[in-house]
Structure 1
Amino acid sequence: MPPIGGTSPPMISQAPRDPDTPVAIIGAGPAGLMAASHLAAAGVRVRLFDRMPAPARKFLMAGRGGLNLTHSEPLDRFLTRYGPAADHLAPAIHAFPPEALRAFVEDLGEPTFVGSSGRVFPKSFKASPLLRAWLRRLGEAGVTLHARHDWTGWTEDGALSFRTPEGTVTVRPRATLLALGGASWPRLGADGGWRGLLEGRGLTVAPFAPANMGVLLDWSEHLRGRFAGEPLKRIALSCDGVSVRGEAVITGGGLEGGAVYALSRIIRNAVARDGKAKLAIDLRPDLSVEQLASKLRAAPERLSFAERLRKAAGLSPVQAGVLRDGMPARPATPEALARLIKQVELTVTDTCGLERAISSAGGLSWADMAPDYGVRGQPGLFACGEMLDWEAPTGGYLLQACFATGRAAAEGILDHIR
């Protein structure tokens, strides 16, 4: 079979177990590539299958604005970012923590650095140089990549079946790793279409839902027309008692950005429960109500309301626009205005869908997963990455868990085939 970068192989007929294919990995994203690296380093022959013409399309897209590989915060706090799935993911991340990921990337010739926010990036700030070096390393280790191989399930006698431009291909490995991704950004290859295949084998797949997605708000025509695309900097957002600091961006239909993504699970659950979600924006989180009221009282009387917001309260034009949009009437006192600036209440009518979400919640249930990332009741079948039922905010947490679970699944496969 051709090495990575070669052409697709010819059609393979129904055949006994292939001695040259101890492991088949389906999905050439970060989790699948990491598993392939770990297996190849142990001397295991790996064939890597992907339905797209080229590997890691979503990884490349994520790197367009600067590839955020992981985060440098203490590991105990790092793990809290995974919410209900933290206990499931902790062993894999402890075994392959952010420091190990940085060492792996630097071994590929891509130095990393910690940004002012604590996020970790390659110095090139791009995904493409890292991916090229990674694929070159895999090719040198003998890993073969088969592009345009769309997995369609299993044959009656248990072989893996793929649809290719040349016809149907079947493969019978000693172990199979599913690294098929979630259901967000489906145009990049991962669309969750594997759900029915696993449910057909009696496995439980939690319904997919958007994560790290934008939210829909009923902005006024004035705000939408003037400020769509403008950033809201140094704010705090709150929903259902959970508050985060960060930034957001006004869109024609609502809000998106890091602060919104950090609350995505909370907002999504509130919308599912109540049909809407209450979202509060603190436009000056660095000041208390009393400090802000003092600044407003000290402002000269001659200032207009707009000037008072800009000069005394320190609001940018877009912040002032959001304040006015959520203000039923002009507050009569500096104290009342200060309270409103600290808590502009907005109503989220819905969330953006999977086609625009950065990641997805839902996936293969942890109840069907063994600690070694083997799938219970399915000998020789393993799973990893975003196709499992977990979610995390942006900031490096998504990629870290994909890399770590890919490596953990590879460890499980090594034990299996030994």
Structure 2
Amino acid sequence: MMYINRRNFVKLSLTALGGTILTGCGGVGFSSATPTPNGYQFYKVMTRGETIIADGERFKIDLFGGSVHLSNNGIITFDAVDENKRKGIFQIGVDLNKRTPLVDWKRVALLIGDELADERVVSSYRSFDVDEHGNIAAVLEADIRASEDHYGAGLYVDVDQTGFEPVLIAGQTFNSGQSMSSGIFGDVSYSDKNVMTSAHHVATDHSSKSDSLMHIPDSNLDDMNILLSSGEIVTETNHTASSFGLIDHNSSGEYSTDVFVANATLARSSERNSQGSVKIKGNVNVPKNLQTRAINADSVVSDGAAYGTRISSNGDIWSIQEINDDMTLFKNDVVIISTGDDTEVGEVLSISPGALGTDGTYYFTAIVQNSAFAATTLFAANGSEVIPILSAADILSENGAHIKDILFGTTTKHVDSENRLAFLCALGDNTTSLIIGIPV
């Protein structure tokens, strides 16, 4: 059993760069782009105020946490808070073959206060992701009130709904005994039972410290690969990595993430462009010296930020770049849409990160201004066209309630293999609901 007390946890955590790691929501295109779905039918599957009863637990949803994941087998994973301020992660199984989607089962995957298989008691969850089969990877924080030897967070997986098992926890050695986890993690991406995460660690002899981008095949720590670490040069730039932002990877081993960098030649100067961010991509199945590189040599953003990277099944990178309040959505290095552009429903004021379908269609939300008001609209893009799917004031087909707001892009998994969508909506009947969208 692995233990870490307060003294050792503080010692490890103070070595983190800056004390934290970030965690983690038409232009010219391609003539061969996949046709964009023409329309959707939308259905409520869960609403604020409903009760989840499973495994002896009774949980009445007071607030949705914001995260929604849709797996290919109809499993929807989300987080919520009840009237007693308990937080948890939940799953429902939805039969999507019915004329109207039907919830077959409900499950409490995790509640704050649960005792895990390694005897740690959960005080909070941080980043979590769900793979195509409904398996969950999560960063879980231990409650020190339960044990003074349980400091720091750990990376856990829940496979086949059997409960959370530890993969890497605070104080645990890995990398053939050369490294020790400090219990500080960033974002998590989970695909086909393979985990990618960013984490802080120290050398077991405390001679060095790093933030690293890690790939853990089949959640087996013995097979872990470090893809890039702080202080290393990002290939095709003259910048060194500092820390990592949002991560996405697919079942083919291709990945992308946002990296915060420092100019290797200007790092000690006060020049504004000594720091910035860059989008990188790679593939875990190629030699290490070819694995990770910037999307292009001129991709370092020093006056703003590049974020929200998403990678498609064929390796295309979708991301947002923000400079001086101007936001642009890119597919690789091609501009798709920018703030100030006109759409069918109004002028774009802001853009949020989205999610990809397996056919390469990218779904995202933007706040648009028309003659009457500014509101959120859900769009679909394929590289050559951007089409609105759902907007505020639209009427849901199921019961006539109009849309007040749309919450989409908080995870990478809002879309399944058949371009069905799962997301949250605030509705005109003063409810907040978990919504399924089915192409028609």
- Normalising by the residue count of structure 2, what TM-score does the alignment of the two structures yield? 0.23
- The one of the two structures with greater contact order (alpha-carbon pairs below 8 A, sep at least 6) is 1
Greater helix share, 1 or 2? 1
- Normalising by the residue count of structure 1, what TM-score does the alignment of the two structures yield? 0.24
Greater strand share, 1 or 2? 2
